[in-house]
Amino acid sequence: MPKKYTIEFIPAKQPIRELITKFGGQPNWISEPEWPLSKSTGKPMQFIGQFTLDPELFGGAPDRMAYLFMTNEEDAPTESTWEPNGGENAVIIQPGGNSMPTISSPNGPALQSWVETSRSVVGKLMGKPSKRVLEDCEFGVKLVSADDPEFLQEREFSKLSKEECEEYLLSLRGNKLGGTPEFIQGPEFPFPDSRKLLLQLDSGSVPFEINFGDAGVGYVFLSADGSQAKFLWQCG
């Protein structure tokens, strides 16, 4: 059974500088910075998170990191960010050989979350509501080891009873590293020789603002040799 780590998000009280899995903030590069650029605008993409490539989960050599980026929705139409080869998202692996346009900048656009601003004393007395604004954010993670069922082809899935289908899909849901993907619109593996899931991210159950369409889910997949990774998202 494919092993996974379920993800619990923990707000960072101070910037995370270590080479560990995290979301938001600024990337902690293993080697020279490789900040990817949007194909449509030429601007730096938004940094979503970095993930340690645990050999036990993903194989390959130790001491590797994957860095996930996506063009901010203000800079490009949401529809264009879902494609694994559309140039509006990127997964940078270090050490690795990345081919897309990048700049050697250690910092760039950060992940954001909604926060309520404090009201002034006068505002409180007048009963004025507080405002919600977007601010840069950063989250560490708590990872819990578990197992997923094997991926079922459509023919195998169709043989399950209604109860078995619901149980199978429920077991695949959530935010996780590794495991088996739960596709919303049907199987979509960007590498013809690999089904290795690196990350599954449910936009409806994360503590930050990210646009994967209507209640969408994002997926990062690794190539068979682990030297490349691609991202895509699906929604209902």
Name the stretches of the chain with pLDDT < 70: 75-79, 118-129
C-beta atoms surrounding 30 within 10 Å: 15
Number of domains in the chain: 1
- Distant-in-sequence, close-in-space partners of 132: CB < 8 Å, separation ≥ 6: 114, 115, 116, 117
**pLDDT value of position 72:** 87
| 167 belongs to a structural domain | no
Q: Residue 162, SS3?
A: helix
Q: Residue 219, SS3?
A: strand
* CATH assignment at residue 96: 2.30.320.10
| 58 belongs to a structural domain | yes
| 202 belongs to a structural domain | yes
| Full-model pTM | 0.92
**pLDDT value of position 181:** 97
| 124 belongs to a structural domain | no
Let me know how many helices (H) and strands (E) the chain has, helices first.
4, 14
Phi-psi region of 123 (alpha: psi -120 to 50; beta: other; left: phi over 0): alpha
| 23 belongs to a structural domain | yes
Using CA atoms, how far apart are residues 47 and 200, in angstroms rounded to an integer? 16
| 218 belongs to a structural domain | yes
Expressed as residue numbers, the domain containing 62 is 3-109+136-148+174-229
The neighbouring-strand residues paired with 221 are 197, 230
**pLDDT value of position 125:** 60
**pLDDT value of position 126:** 61
| 191 belongs to a structural domain | yes
Label residues 75-92 b or e (16+ Cβ within 10 Å = b): bbebebbbebeebbbbbb
